[in-house]
Structure 1
């Protein structure tokens, strides 16, 4: 009987010890599983660091590793305005160069200083028509007569309307003395027919020079003191 008790007690002890070892292994496994969790935490931390590196600026393009673009509507408008200003500046520079060229060109022809040639539209109109051949009754850039040319020039430059013929322009102008001639006044001549008829007209410039459409050379500039024009001069007038 005693032997049985001893045997039974020994078996219980073995069973208990065996259960403790199994429980220890199970606990060890649980601990190993618990220790693996920080690895995921580290990965998440790395991802958070990557996300934290992105730069975000309100109203700007979002990129990584590069500085954000700060382009917005105001900067685009500013750039457009600068472009317009540059174009306007270039156009203004072109106009100044064009005006300067015409002033130099006609200062030589008129024998005057550049500073006196301030009416740029007048110079531009003369230059546009310069050399256009003469034809009786003509009024285009193909050919034009003297009174049609004065009509066009006075209309485009001085905003003044004139009658069609040289005689009518003479009759409808205010007569002035030669010494009172100013830029834009009319000068009249008799070149053929009855001595009292006004058959030719031009527009006075300065320094005794006038621009007209001559039968010999078309639109050109001549001098009142030239041998041909001086004896044929019949007076000067100012458009009313």
Structure 2
């Protein structure tokens, strides 16, 4: 009987040991499965109807060229030009460039610079050095320069000296200044010794002894105390090309 009980006890012990082994094996299998599951790549979803080209993303089924995509990404800069402005050269691109250039110089918006012949005349003479009595491309004085501007842009004739131009112009108040009016200064001996052409935004163009043909500001600490008044001249229509 004792041998029989001992045999039964051994069988039970063997059975329990086998169950623990099987449990460990199962745990190892599950761990391996989890490890495999972690290593598997995640599911990637792709969006339909999307085509990627360098510099652009197009959400359409139609093909789009790279050139068109770049054009859409970087639209060209456009500058509006007043159709009423007379283009001496007929070159719209040059007119737009001059507007941009002198908008910076005059601290004004491009839309306000519609007198293209005036901008072309200023640009032609820009930087020409000053010399007393000069009236050429090499050097010019202030009153000769105003003669050139009024003749070429506004078709108006002016006398030669700054004092004579002051005497023959219609006197106007500072707040009434318009483009093409004359501004006068006292810089030396005579009562009126310097003259320029008013532009806009307190700016005027003139031939200065210091820097030649340039644009200055009426509120400048040098010019403001020397300002003596403004004058307006009668501007005639251009009749030189009539009948040609």
Fold-level similarity (TM above 0.5): yes
- Aligned partner of 1:128 in structure 2 is 124
- Aligned partner of 1:162 in structure 2 is 158
* Count of residue pairs the alignment pairs up: 148
User: How big is the shift at 1:210?
Assistant: 0.1
* Unmatched runs of 5 consecutive residues or more in structure 1: 1-91
Distance, in Å, in 1 between the alignment partners of 2:126 and 2:144 is 14
Tell me the alpha carbon deviations over residues 115-164 of structure 1, each in whole angstroms, 9 at most, x when there is no partner: 00000000000000000000000000100000000000100000000000
Structure 2 counterparts to residues 3-14 of structure 1, below 5 A: none
Distance, in Å, in 2 between the alignment partners of 1:94 and 1:158 is 18
Please give the TM-score of this superposition, normalised by the length of structure 1: 0.60
User: How big is the shift at 1:94?
Assistant: 7.2
Tell me the alpha carbon deviations over residues 28-76 of structure 1, each in whole angstroms, 9 at most, x when there is no partner: xxxxxxxxxxxxxxxxxxxxxxxxxxxxxxxxxxxxxxxxxxxxxxxxx
Q: Given the alignment, which residue of 214, 218, 224 partners 1:224? A: 218
Distance, in Å, in 2 between the alignment partners of 1:153 and 1:94 is 19
Distance, in Å, in 1 between the alignment partners of 2:93 and 2:148 is 25
User: How big is the shift at 1:211?
Assistant: 0.1
Rg comparison, structure with higher value: 1
Structure 2 counterparts to residues 68-217 of structure 1, below 5 A: 95-194=91-190, 197-217=191-211
Distance, in Å, in 1 between the alignment partners of 2:96 and 2:90 is 10
Distance, in Å, in 2 between the alignment partners of 1:108 and 1:226 is 17
Please give the TM-score of this superposition, normalised by the length of structure 2: 0.59
Task: From the two aligned structures, give the one with the greater helix fraction.
Answer: 1
Tell me the alpha carbon deviations over residues 82-133 of structure 1, each in whole angstroms, 9 at most, x when there is no partner: xxxxxxxxxx997111000000000000000000000000000000000000
Q: Which 4+ stretches in 1 moved above 2 angstroms?
A: none
* CA RMSD in angstroms, aligned pairs only: 1.7
